[in-house]
């Protein structure tokens, strides 16, 4: 448990940051939620958590944050390809590289014990396609083409800055290489190459809710890495509890096959009297297989994966019905009215 240690969660209106802040409060931490949004619509007050608004690219804004007694800074702020309409690479440079530099200076000045930071999965995308799980300490290389290139270049630079502050100032660092952390968000859309599209698993869920046919493209036995929100939060908490200096850790669960994923979506979301038929389309393009090696996360942090893909879907369905973050994020209908 947190023993009332003070932690500052940056990016606290995003999908991960919100879940982290609420979870750590329940675990007994003294949480300060920090976001870019001018206000949180009263969401955090309901959870007994103060909310502060800053721009991480502005070093002067950090004077608004607690200046002493902070045990850890959880830095989950920064632009993401999934929310970037159009394309402006400068937003990655300013929010991730300059933003991280400002966060590190803040952490150093207030004498925080450690920083927790999410690294992009795409720093090891050159290893995708292999059946061999990708080790945590694989060489970090950004793709030089595509909409993730500058994003991953910026993330790698941020990791180097964090490592620099560890070597020079002893700031413990827990860098978490994220496979996609699966959880419900009312926004069913993402951006690819700056264009708005429906998230693929949300498409399958909507089809299943209507009992429609579900297609599996390519090889149904392809493995894809996944991490349920509950397992991710377990790793975050263990990063705060760890008695060593940290390192880079893979966040995953061992993966599940396309077959397992689509079948479970049908099992969880089909109406009682209308079962989806699964259609195999081996001639269509397959997803690129990848699995992360989580042995270092298990050995050094004591991580124990608890959730299967089906567990994620059951959690997803529950949140879809209960809408626990609606005050902060809105509801699905708020996103349908947007134009592409």
- Structural domain includes residue 284: no
- What average pLDDT does the segment 66-81 reach? 95
- Judge contact between 235 and 273, C-beta under 8 A: no
Q: Supply the pLDDT for residue 84.
A: 78
- What average pLDDT does the segment 316-327 reach? 95
Q: Please give the full DSSP string across 312-330, using - where no structure is assigned.
A: HHHHHHHHHHH-TTHHHH-
Question: What is the percent of the chain with per-residue pLDDT over 70, rounded to a whole number?
Answer: 98
pTM exceeds cut of 0.75: yes
Burial class (CB in 10 A: 0-12, 13-18, 19+), 11: buried
Q: Which residue matches tokens 């020079």?
A: 168
Question: Rounded to an integer, what distance in angstroms lies between the CA atom of residue 253 and that of residue 308?
Answer: 8
- What average pLDDT does the segment 76-105 reach? 92
DSSP 134: B
pLDDT at 339 over 50: no
- What average pLDDT does the segment 70-91 reach? 91
Name the phi and psi angles at 243, rounded to 5.
-100, 25
- Structural domain includes residue 174: yes
In the structure encoding, which two tokens stand for residue 38, read together? 């001018």
CATH of the domain at 161: 3.40.50.720
- Structural domain includes residue 337: no
CA-nearest of 299, 218, 298, 315 to 264 is 315
- What average pLDDT does the segment 179-208 reach? 92
pLDDT in tens, 4-57: 999 999 999 999 999 999 999 999 999 999 999 999 999 999 999 999 999 999
Q: State how many domains the chain has.
A: 1
- Structural domain includes residue 154: yes
pLDDT at 297 over 50: yes
Q: Please give the full DSSP string across 271-334, using - where no structure is assigned.
A: -TT-PPPEEEETTSPPPPPB-B--HHHHHHH-------HHHHHHHHHHHHHH-TTHHHH--HHH
- Structural domain includes residue 203: no
Pairwise pLDDT comparison (193 vs 49), residue with the higher score:
49
- Structural domain includes residue 193: no
- Judge contact between 205 and 269, C-beta under 8 A: yes
* Consecutive H or E run containing 81: none
- Structural domain includes residue 47: yes
DSSP 94: I
pLDDT in tens, 208-225: 999 999 999 999 999 999
Burial class (CB in 10 A: 0-12, 13-18, 19+), 146: middle
Provide the residue range defining the domain that includes 91: 6-178+227-251+292-306+323-329
Question: Rounded to an integer, what distance in angstroms lies between the CA atom of residue 123 and that of residue 64?
Answer: 33
**Dihedral angle computed from the Cα positions of residues 7, 9, 15 and 20, in that order, rounded to the nearest 10 degrees:** 0
- Structural domain includes residue 194: no
pLDDT at 337 over 60: no
Q: Supply the pLDDT for residue 340.
A: 44
pLDDT in tens, 260-282: 999 999 999 999 999 999 999 99
Pairwise pLDDT comparison (127 vs 84), residue with the higher score:
127
Mean pLDDT taken over the chain: 94
pLDDT in tens, 136-190: 999 999 999 988 999 999 999 999 999 999 999 999 999 999 998 999 999 999 9
């Amino acid at each position: 448990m947190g023993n009332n240690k003070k932690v500052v969660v940056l990016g606290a209106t995003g999908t991960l940051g919100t879940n982290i802040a609420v979870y750590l409060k329940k675990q007994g931490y003294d949480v300060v939620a920090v976001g870019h949004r001018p206000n949180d619509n009263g969401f955090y007050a309901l959870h007994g958590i103060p909310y502060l608004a800053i721009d991480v690219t502005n070093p002067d804004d950090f004077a608004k944050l607690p200046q002493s007694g902070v045990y850890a800074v959880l830095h989950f702020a920064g632009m993401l390809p999934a929310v970037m309409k159009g394309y402006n690479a400068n937003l990655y440079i300013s929010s991730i590289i300059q933003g991280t530099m400002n966060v590190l200076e803040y952490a150093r000045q207030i004498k925080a014990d450690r920083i927790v930071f999410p690294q992009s999965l795409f720093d090891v995308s050159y290893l995708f396609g292999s059946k061999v799980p990708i080790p945590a300490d694989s060489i970090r290389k950004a793709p030089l083409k595509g909409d993730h290139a500058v994003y991953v270049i910026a993330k790698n630079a941020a990791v180097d800055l964090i490592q620099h502050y560890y070597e020079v100032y002893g700031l413990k660092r827990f860098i978490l290489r994220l496979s996609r952390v699966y959880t419900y968000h009312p926004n069913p859309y993402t951006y690819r190459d700056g264009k708005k599209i429906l998230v693929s698993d949300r498409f399958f869920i909507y089809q299943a809710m209507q009992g429609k046919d579900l297609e599996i493209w390519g090889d149904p036995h392809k493995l894809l890495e996944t991490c349920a929100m509950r397992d991710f939060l377990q790793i975050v908490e263990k990063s705060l509890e760890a008695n060593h200096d940290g390192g880079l850790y893979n966040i995953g669960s061992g993966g599940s096959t396309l077959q397992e994923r689509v079948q479970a979506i049908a099992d969880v979301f089909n109406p009682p009297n209308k079962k989806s038929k699964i259609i195999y389309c081996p001639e269509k393009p397959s997803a690129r297989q990848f699995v992360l090696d989580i042995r270092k996360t298990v050995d050094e942090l004591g991580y124990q994966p608890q959730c299967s893909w089906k567990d994620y879907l059951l959690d997803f369905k529950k949140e879809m019905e209960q809408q626990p973050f609606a005050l902060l994020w809105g509801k699905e209908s708020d996103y349908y009215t947007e134009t592409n």
